[in-house]
Chains A and B, each alone.
Chain A
Amino acid sequence: MADVLRAESLSKRFGTHTALNSLNLSVASGEIVCMLGANGAGKTTTINLFLGFLEPSDGKALIDGTHVQSDTTAARKLLGYVPEQVALYPSLTGLENLEYFMRLSGAANINETHLRSLLDKVGLDQAAATRPVQDYSKGMRQKVGLAIALGKNATALLLDEPLSGLDPKAANEFCSLLRVLANEGKAVLMATHDLFRAREISDKIVIMKSGRMVAALDSAALDNATLEKIYLQHMHDPDTLLEAAS
């Protein structure tokens, strides 16, 4: 399948600190790739570079062939973005937030039926849809965030720690939905600390450390214990090298 998200020798330096060092990464249509790593490993920097919020020091980020830095607005229109804390306008209802962000992305055919069907798809209670989001739980916000990405009909989804703070049931629902979306052809790149859930839902796992990708693993070939062992080994080994699990 064609690569939708592609990082080519992507680097980002802040002064003398290298936040991301020559990352080569691709996520194909229908594929879920999870990035694991400690804080400061370069996961969020990678996502910010794909979103065009940061200028790369070297290399380039491509979304479905669109160079992010050359045409940031066009590249963003192809992306759905769900951060750790989905930020919504508190005085607006879930429906109004969804409509607003969909209109910003240039989505067509926006009507209440369509909006409600999107919220239904992500499992948001219909009664909650017309309440101001200031009353929403984090899980409900995450669902609206995902509905925004759905409504935008994004080609690729970037998720930055979306499971953080979710209760197990909400996290399960969220992951199931991600799989549905991947099956529909979306390319999904998710940064997470949750090793086991990453293994469950992803097709590929990459481990980041100090701005470098130190491992790229096939999720299907791993069990939880192996993944944990590999992960901890990389976290403690100062001279880890890129390796690929067969």
Chain B
Amino acid sequence: MISYIIRKEAMEVSRDGRTRILAIVMLLLGLVGLLAGWANYADQQRNAQFAQADDQTVFLDQGERNPHSAAHFGRMAYKPASPLAAFDPGAAPFMGQVIWLEAHQRNPAMFRPAADSLELGRLSNFSVAGILTVLLPLLVFLLGYSALAGERERGTLRQTLAAGTSTGKLFAAKYIVIASTGIVLAAVTIIASAVMALFSPVALSATDTLVRALGLTAFYALYVLALTGFALLVSALCRQSRTALLVLLGIWALAVMVLPRVGASVAAQTFPIPDGAQVWSELRADIASNRVAPDSAEYKAAEQFVVSRALGRDVSLAELATMDLNASGLRLEVTEVLDYAVLNNFYADIYDRYAGQRDVRRWFALLSPAIALQHASSAFAGTDFVAHQHFSDVAEVQRNNIVRVMNEDLLLNGAGATTYLAGENFWEEVPEFTYQFPPVSLAWRSAAFDILLLLLWGAIATALAWTVTRNRLTV
């Protein structure tokens, strides 16, 4: 019997001009958002590849030069945009895209560096994910506000129940039709985004893309299920469909427009991210307070470690004292080794603050599933702050490697030289920076709590709507 009700509901939905217009508008906006996102992505990718190649050419063509001077000249690490950024740019525009790898210093990403980003909210972005997050509730609420209240108002509820069906079956059919409409619209845009991602210049593996696309579809489906539950719950409780519409529009404004912004603001106030000037001054202070005296045991141990690693064999302190090494090279590399942990701890603290912001926003996600969806969606698109942290950490390892190669060359080959210059072919020994996107397992870990919240939202809203419809919906 449910199939007949579903068929009738589908016929009504398909003949409803408002639904058709909104669905077409959503699809068009989704298409435009996808194309705009893709254009941005392709542009960013092209620029990154061009800049990376240019940076390499300049580095390799620098001729004879002091290695430490070259280490200060540095390299650039360009963050490749996630192929799914065209679907959901997430926090990427707020986190920066290029990291300057230079001696002594771990730099934040440039072009919207982390230090300048106060929040991870991105509803204002014209992206497919943003469009879906904002407009899916409108579509579902427009389909659902009169689903039960309207039946009661028109008198068709009496007619339907008198025909011998139950409120449970009526609820189930309406739930299936409304939810399916929203899920199909979301799935179409996600599949289109995934297909584009497969053909992107830095494609993820097909399996990875498929898992991410399936995950995104599941999250948006859970979002739609929660919205459908709410729409039917309000429709069952309100005597008039007009009242139900007003209540649902209020919920939409609060859950989709207000709470995500309030959550982001509260998060930014609770866990403030230092700006550029603060980063430098705090970092300098941290480094200064962690410096050890050159005659200390810790410093000597660091010297021993640096030379042993450079030579590829263990060197004792006694042997070290007799070795003919470039003192400047040794000091520079020891400083790098000693500062490495300080730099990493400092940035770990910044990323902890981002995690703190996310946790604050999760409290607000208890009031709005849109926030949980934003977290899960950007995690699976590879554009959340966790994905950025992965890039930043990999870039830091690369910075450390570059500086180490430079310092070791100076250390081992510059002994006795007043001004040591590395040969023009030396620069080819410096490894190129290559970046592999983090596996999808990182996204699972990053978004596990948000996925759980979405599951709870879907289950609770549906169960509430079902219970109220069964027990409270009267003719």
Task: Please give the residue numbers on chain A whose beta carbons come within 8 Å of chain B beta carbons, in ascending order.
Answer: 48, 51, 53, 73, 76-77, 79, 81, 83, 85-92, 96, 100-101, 103-106, 145, 148, 152
Whether B156 contacts A89 by the Cβ 8 Å rule is yes
Additional A-B contact list (11), CB under 8 Å, known A83-B155, A86-B159, A104-B1: A53-B158, A53-B475, A76-B161, A83-B159, A87-B154, A87-B156, A88-B156, A92-B11, A103-B4, A104-B5, A148-B159
Q: What is the predominant secondary structure among interface residues of chain B facing chain A?
A: helix
Say yes or no: A104-B155 contact (C-beta < 8 A), given A81-B162, A91-B15.
no
Asked if B277 CB lies within 8 Å of chain A CBs, one says: no
- 21 pairs across A/B with beta carbons < 8 Å? A48-B475, A51-B158, A53-B158, A73-B164, A73-B166, A76-B164, A81-B159, A85-B155, A87-B158, A88-B156, A89-B8, A90-B154, A91-B15, A92-B8, A96-B8, A104-B160, A104-B163, A105-B163, A106-B1, A145-B159, A152-B163
B428 CB → nearest A CB, Å: 73
Bound complex: CA of A34 vs CA of B205, how far in Å?
75
The answer for the CA separation of A103 and B160 in the assembled complex, in Å, is 11
CA distance A103 to B15 in the complex (A): 21
Bin chain B's interface residue count.
Answer: 20 to 34
- B-chain residues with CB within 8 Å of residue A85 when the two chains form the complex: 155
Chain A, residue nearest B3 (CB): A103
Whether a CB of chain A sits under 8 angstroms from the CB of B441 is: no
Q: Kindly state the separation between the CA atoms of A85 and B158 in the bound complex, as whole angstroms.
A: 11
Cα separation A85 to B159 with both chains bound (whole Å): 10
The residue on A at minimum CB distance from B166 is A73
Give Cα distance in the complex from A137 to B154, angstroms: 15
Q: How far is the CA of A136 from the CA of B156 in the complex (A)?
A: 16
Neighbouring B residues of A77 by C-beta, 8 Å: 164
A148:B163 contact, CB within 8 angstroms = yes
Bound together, the chains give a CA A45 to CA B159 distance in angstroms of 16
Contact of B164 with A51 in the complex, beta carbons under 8 Å: no
Query: Are A51 and B4 in contact (CB-based, < 8 A)?
Result: no
Task: Report chain B residues within 8 Å CB of A79.
Answer: 162
A103 to B159, CA, bound (A): 13
Q: Which residues of A contact B161 (CB under 8 A)?
A: 51, 53, 76
Task: Report yes or no: A83 in contact with B1, Cβ–Cβ below 8 A.
Answer: no
Q: Which residues in chain B, 458-475, are within 8 Å of chain A measured between CB atoms?
A: 474-475
Separation of A96 and B154 alpha carbons in the complex (Å): 17
Question: Per-position contact with A for B1-42: 1 when CB-CB < 8 Å, else 0?
Answer: 100110010011001100000000000000000000000000
B residues near A103, Cβ cutoff 8 Å: 1, 4
Question: Nearest chain-A residue to B153 (Cβ)?
Answer: A87
- Select B11's contact among A81, A91, A145, beta carbons within 8 Å: A91
Residues of A within 8 A of B165 (CB): 73, 104
**What residues on A are CB-neighbors of B12 within 8 Å?**
89, 91-92
Residues of chain A lying within 8 A (CB to CB) of residue B15: 91
Closest chain A CB from B168 CB (angstroms): 11
Residue of B nearest to A53 (CB): B475
Q: Fill in one digit per residue for B150-179: 1 if any A CB lies within 8 Å of its CB, else 0.
A: 000011111111111110000000000000
> Contacts of B158 on A, CB cut-off 8 Å?
51, 53, 81, 83, 87
| Chain A residues within 8 Å of B163, by CB | 76, 101, 104-105, 148, 152
Chain B proximity of A92: nearest CB distance (Å): 6
Which residues does chain B contribute within 8 Å of A53, judged by CB atoms? 158, 161, 474-475
Residues A96 and B11 in contact in the complex (CB < 8 Å), given A53-B474, A83-B155: yes
**Residues from chain A with Cβ under 8 Å of B164 in the complex:** 73, 76-77, 104-106
CB distance from A85 to the nearest CB of B (A): 6
- In the assembled complex, the CB of B91 is this many whole angstroms from the nearest CB of chain A, namely 44
Taking CB atoms, residues of chain B closer than 8 Å to A90 are 154
| Residues of chain B contacted by A81 (CB below 8 angstroms) | 158-159, 162
Chain B residues closer than 8 Å to A91, beta-carbon distance: 11-12, 15-16
Q: With the chains together, A79 CA to B163 CA distance in Å?
A: 8
CB contacts (< 8 Å) of B474 on chain A: these are: 53
Whole-angstrom distance between the Cβ of A227 and the nearest chain B Cβ: 30
Which one of B11, B16, B155 contacts A87 once the chains associate, using CB atoms below 8 Å? B155
Tell me the bound Cα distance from A76 to B15 in angstroms: 30
A90 to B17, CA, bound (A): 13
Separation of A148 and B159 alpha carbons in the complex (Å): 10
Taking the closest CB of chain A, its distance from the CB of B16, in whole angstroms, is 7
CB distance from A186 to the nearest CB of B (A): 16
Q: Which residue of A lies closest to B13 (CB)?
A: A91
User: Are A88 and B162 closer than 8 Å at their CB atoms?
Assistant: no
CB-nearest residue of chain B to A73? B164
B294 to chain A, nearest CB (A): 86
A153 to B164, CA, bound (A): 13
Smallest distance from the beta carbon of B23 to chain A beta carbons, Å? 16
